[in-house]
Amino acid sequence: MSTTKKIAGSALVVALGVSTLAACGGGSEPAAAPKTITLVSHDSFNVTPAVLKEFEQQSGYTVKVLKSGDAGAALNQEILTKGSPRGDVFFGIDNTLLSRGLDSGIFTPYEAKGLAGVGAQYQLDKEHRVTPVDSGDICVNYDKAYFADKKLAPPQTLDDLIKPEYKNLLVTENAATSSPGLGFLLASVGKYGDDGWKDYWTKLKANGVEVVDSWEAAYNERFSGSAGGKKAKGDRPLVVSYASSPPVEVLYAEPQPAEAPTGVATGTCFRQVEFAGLLKGAKNEAGGKALIDFLVSKKFQEDMPLQMFVNPVVKDAKLPELFTKHGVVVEKPETVAPDAIAKNREQWVKAWSSLVVK
């Protein structure tokens, strides 16, 4: 999830192997335990370098981050390489994609240290094949300057988006390739039900919605309200992103504005939870477990909001002032039961694709 600047993993190596001698005087050195943990993630994973370095120094491991596009694309790659994973831990599978990952059998169960401190509402897999790391709300964001210039009130609900005054203003992500795109589809399912969401999307298409493959393309290239959008001359003042996206615009603006330049349509949101899992066949299983423990540690959880602009799932983790001041709390996001997503996701996406991107 998320809406962040990107970094690569750091490179600190501490040897773990030890030599042993046979009692009779001959001897051989056992194979050294792997020193590197490879974290496979979507492109928005981020952590403060000093926080990651502290974990590396304390654990004796080096963390390598392998970013692999949007969450849906990254997960698909791991399913295709099942049994011979590209890394040790996968981060970024969310509740919209959870059953796909669990049913594929790509994860090894592991109950993380510190899991007792994680809110019970986030622990959706009782077998601990995945561990909750963050939560957030997928919502339509709007460019405040555009709507002020046009003297037009920004939309606030899903119903608003199909009104004529918002024609050709919205860009969203492909529900088949992007987790925010899928989340936005599920928001419509939650709002209008299995009988009504197709009619809604038919109207949204007629109202000029644009579909792109990824969050990065939608937010940084097509949206007029982002720093990236300004450089790319994006002309869409509405974009599917996150309720926590406005603090990003404040944090990276120079100078920082008193108010975020983007707003959130709080009646368009879907609640998302992201997880990490130990990949089956991992070369460094011990290191992978240590990394998952780190992801639910208070240190990482309190660093995470201003790095990935999502909410911590650990109950006693505190949010930074910038996040609470410029972020938006969504009181009543749309939700869809995980078992309903598991049962219907593929047919919903197929039907959506035939309606919207055919």
What does the pLDDT look like over 268-295, one tens digit per residue? 999 999 999 999 999 999 999 999 999 9
Residue 309 and residue 98: Cα distance in Å, rounded?
21
Continuous segment of H or E residues that includes residue 53: helix 49-59
19: pLDDT strictly greater than 60: no
**For residues 235-241, average pLDDT:** 97
Continuous segment of H or E residues that includes residue 174: none
Position 31 confidence tier, pLDDT thresholds 50, 70, 90: low
Residues 6+ away with beta carbon under 8 Å from 97: 71, 72, 75, 179, 182
Q: What tokens were used for 288?
A: 């992978």
> Which residue did the predictor score with more confidence, 228 or 186?
186
Residues of the chain with CATH 3.40.190.10: 36-135+272-323, 137-271+330-356
| CATH superfamily placement of domain 137-271+330-356 | Periplasmic binding protein-like II (3.40.190.10)
CB-based contact 101:92 (threshold 8 Å): no
**For residues 103-124, average pLDDT:** 96
Position 230 confidence tier, pLDDT thresholds 50, 70, 90: low
Q: What are the C-alpha distances in Å from 51 to residues 242, 255, 287, 307, 335?
A: 25, 26, 17, 11, 33
CB-based contact 310:2 (threshold 8 Å): yes
197: pLDDT strictly greater than 50: yes
User: What CATH number should be reported for the domain whose range is 36-135+272-323?
Assistant: 3.40.190.10
Position 30 confidence tier, pLDDT thresholds 50, 70, 90: low
Position 70 confidence tier, pLDDT thresholds 50, 70, 90: confident
23: pLDDT strictly greater than 50: no
Going by C-alpha positions, the residue among 28, 65, 121, 61 that lies closest to residue 307 is 65
**For residues 341-352, average pLDDT:** 94
Q: What tokens were used for 246?
A: 């406005």
SS3 category, 241: strand
Residue 76 and residue 117: Cα distance in Å, rounded?
30
